[in-house]
Amino acid sequence: MTSLTAIAAVPDFAALLQRQRTFFASGATLPLEFRRAVLQSLRKSLVNSEKPLLAALYADLRKPPQEAYAAEIGMVLSEIDYALKHLKAWMKPRRASVPWMVWPGRARIAPRPLGVSLIIGPWNYPVQLLLLPLIGAIAAGNCAVVKPSELAPATSDAVAALLGDAFSAEHVACIQGGRVSSEALLSERFDKIFFTGSSVVGKAVACAAAKNLTPVTLELGGKCPVIVAPDANIPVAARRIIWAKAINAGQSCVAPDYVLAHESIRSQLIEQMIAAVRAMFGENVQKSADYGRIVNPRHFDRLLNYLKEGAIIAGGQNDPSDLFLAPTLLENISPGARILDEEIFGPILPVLPYNDLSEAVQFIAARPSPLAVYLFTAEPAARRQVEQIRCGAICVNDLMVHLFAKKLPFGGIGDSGMGSYHGKFSFDGFTHYQTNLQCSAAIDPSFRYVPPKLSLQRYKQLLSRLLRW
């Protein structure tokens, strides 16, 4: 039996959502001028909030200022500018051809906002991964409720202040809090839910959305593998792998999760990766101003347990009081180890050998679909073989940089997510493309009505012509 105290502790968001539905129904969010104005307001507030955001990101994750600006603020500003530049074209209805069956009809496809959206953000990139989908939502003409992660509390406060300055609550509202707030929001009816987080929670979000047949975009995790072929540029591959793994101390959904290195170059690759760590962060990584920290003790302890599942090649230094864990390379991992099945989400990188590319491809394909697959090679045949892997994206000779290409969709498949966003794909994710067909009553052929006046053979011939474009 639920206590009265527990009932009182559950937030009631019905009044807020009703205010947003009323505002949306007024048509205020529809004009181009309004959408441009709120995007510009968000941009202004983001620029004005740069210092408190950088301070909050440092407090929550010890993010270095350059990394924090590039990955959090800079990416969002760039996305806003891109939306402002292209919004008029995105909103324009498109003409569509029609078959002779409806001649002289005219058709168009009109982009319409879905309504009131819910956006739930994660803790690892608590600015970027909350605001990027919001840009798509407001550009498409929606109202939105955004829920930042409670695991990055300083950034949650800073983002709430930023959004309170940029928007009225009936248009965009920021709800802070923990699991209780999230569950209360998910019990309400929304017209779209956008969730970024773990696959486990993503399944719960999908179940909650299914009760109201609410469409969802799920940006989830995924063990992103790196394949390093024998013809790869080893020094470049090593630097780029370490760069991608060290960003945010490995707490990125598209970070390399494990490396499959051809046996002939494995030792060389390991040497070059160790050298890359030293070149980027010095002999004592903990003293580097350019390296972040693990988000909290629970995740820190989880990562330390992974260190027991293999032999440490390099790294492994850690300090629980500082939530510091150095970039760490592992080898000799047993086949049943959890580190091969669970997303690491930290600066630990298993290095596994392979002898034939088909062996590496089969190893990846036997596991849940990753968010990205990375391949270092100059061989077209190798690229074609890896392209058969079921995954969200494939990036050749680099890692993570596909996130910056606004004309490419970003999203996963299967356990790594559903749907995509970035650029126009964000606009599309919060849009219903409505069919509008204008027919004429001046022409009304009798063959469409019963009883049929043609034989079946003649009717089939006529219909095949009338359904042509």
Which residues, 6 or more positions from 303, have their beta carbon under 8 angstroms from its beta carbon?
Answer: 294, 325, 344, 346, 347, 348
Q: Which of 174, 224, 253, 395 is catalytic?
A: 253
Q: Which of 72, 219, 224, 395 is catalytic?
A: 219
Q: For the CA atoms of the chain, what is the radius of gyration? A: 26
**Which residues on adjacent β-strands are paired with residue 325?**
318
Q: Specify burial of residue 148 (Cβ count, 10 A radius: 0-12, 13-18, 19+).
A: buried
Q: Is 391 an annotated catalytic residue? A: no
Distance CA 225, CA 220 (A): 15
**Which residues on adjacent β-strands are paired with residue 438?**
106
261 in Cβ contact with 304 (< 8 Å): no
Distance CA 103, CA 77 (A): 46
Q: Specify burial of residue 69 (Cβ count, 10 A radius: 0-12, 13-18, 19+).
A: middle
227 in Cβ contact with 386 (< 8 Å): yes
Which residues, 6 or more positions from 109, have their beta carbon under 8 angstroms from its beta carbon?
Answer: 93, 94, 96, 433, 434, 435, 436
Which residues, 6 or more positions from 52, have their beta carbon under 8 angstroms from its beta carbon?
Answer: 158, 161
Q: Is 343 an annotated catalytic residue? A: no
Q: Give residue 233's region: left, alpha or beta (phi > 0; psi -120 to 50).
A: beta
**Which residues on adjacent β-strands are paired with residue 328?**
348
Which residues, 6 or more positions from 293, have their beta carbon under 8 angstroms from its beta carbon?
Answer: 61, 62, 249, 322, 323, 324
Whether cis (ω within 30° of 0) applies to the bond prior to 230 is no
Residues labelled as active-site residues: 219, 253
